[in-house]
Amino acid sequence: MRSGTVRAWSRVHTWSSLISTVFLLMLCVTGLPLVFAHEIDEVLLHQDWSPTHADGRRLDLDQVLDAALARHPGDVPTFMSFDTDRPVVNVTSRAPDAPAGAYNFQPIDQTSGEAAPLVAGHPVMEFILQLHTDLFLGLGGMLFLGLMGLMLLVAVVSGVVLYAPFMRRLPFGTIRAERSARTRWLDWHNLLGIVTVAWVVVVGATGVVNTLAVPIIAHWKDTALADLAAAYDGPVALDERASLDAAVDRAREALPGMTLQFVAFPGSDYSTDNHYAVFFHGDTPVTTHLITPALIDARTGELAAVAPMPWYVKALSLSQPLHFGDYGGLGLKIVWAVLDLITIVILGSGLYLWIVRRRRAR
């Protein structure tokens, strides 16, 4: 490679790294506890609770919905989800005049209709997640962090290009311990960078995809569901809606063998103004994250369509757990945490090398 080409790639690597380093360090530091978010929440929020009638008949979903809305009169239901380890149905609703993002979340004991203990993230973990996701700036913050993720990918690619001529001079893994501190850190920076390059690309790319979640879902709704929405004159009123329990049963018939995940009510982000969107997932580590909705006409309770997610929504669904190593249990999470710590060292050493070089230049 010509010296001019090396210098050009070096500038690309230096500035793409510098522009994003502070934010990438923040993402790595906040991402470390988020890898173990489930385990941390279980320790900090453990509650001894049992259903009112553990062996009794469970209420149907219409009764559960009525019990939840009775606690928030005037609310409009938006989502219903289901706990996997206890007979609890979570009903999310909002007041018609509530500001965007303002919801009421009510866990209901399905054996009695009474309120169940809320199992949500610890406030500290919720703070860390919000900082990691959007810097408390909403969609703008998400897109900005996505840009920083792209800068990371540019830095990785340029670093790999620069590593090729470097490797011609030294055996792989060489650490020149007898040289200056700057040289030793340069060797460690290069070695750790090339060893973790595949992981950094995977986490960086999935992070970029995750920052596009809002426009991805909006595009899916505006395209894949547009034809269904066009067949109606207006939104279906609450008192005109068919039985929710019957709608879910009809969706189960359309997607046998799959596991019910959540229901999106008419007018919510994941449905149209006239359909219950009943979402199911598979039962393997991968298909658990791939959801398929059955759309049920909210007026008649009849199946309107089974709408498999397009490739870009599937990519989003798979990237979210992959970003945090949430596929292979605790062992994979530990690997993710170790690689995260190594990435912090790479970012810190890169910043140190730049500062030292600037001082020498002066």
Backbone angles phi, psi at 107, to 5 degrees: -80, 130
For residues 258 and 252, give the distance between their C-alpha atoms in angstroms, rounded to a whole number. 8
The domain locations on the chain are 3-43+125-211+324-361, 58-120, 225-309
pLDDT band for position 52 (50/70/90)? confident
Q: What's the pLDDT tens digit per position in 213-263?
A: 989 988 887 887 777 777 677 788 888 899 999 999 999 999 998 999 999
Domain at 225-309: CATH code? 3.10.450
Q: How high is the pLDDT of residue 34?
A: 92
C-beta separation of 287 from 308 below 8 A: no
Q: What's the pLDDT tens digit per position in 306-343?
A: 888 888 888 888 898 889 888 777 889 999 999 999 99
Strands of 104-109's sheet in order across: 104-109, 88-94, 76-82, 259-264, 275-281, 291-297, 303-306
Rounded average pLDDT over 82-102: 87
> In whole angstroms, how far apart are CA 127 and each of 3, 25, 27, 91?
47, 17, 13, 23
pLDDT band for position 120 (50/70/90)? low
Mean pLDDT value across the chain = 88
Residue 154: CB atoms within 10 A of its CB come to: 18
Q: How high is the pLDDT of residue 3?
A: 76
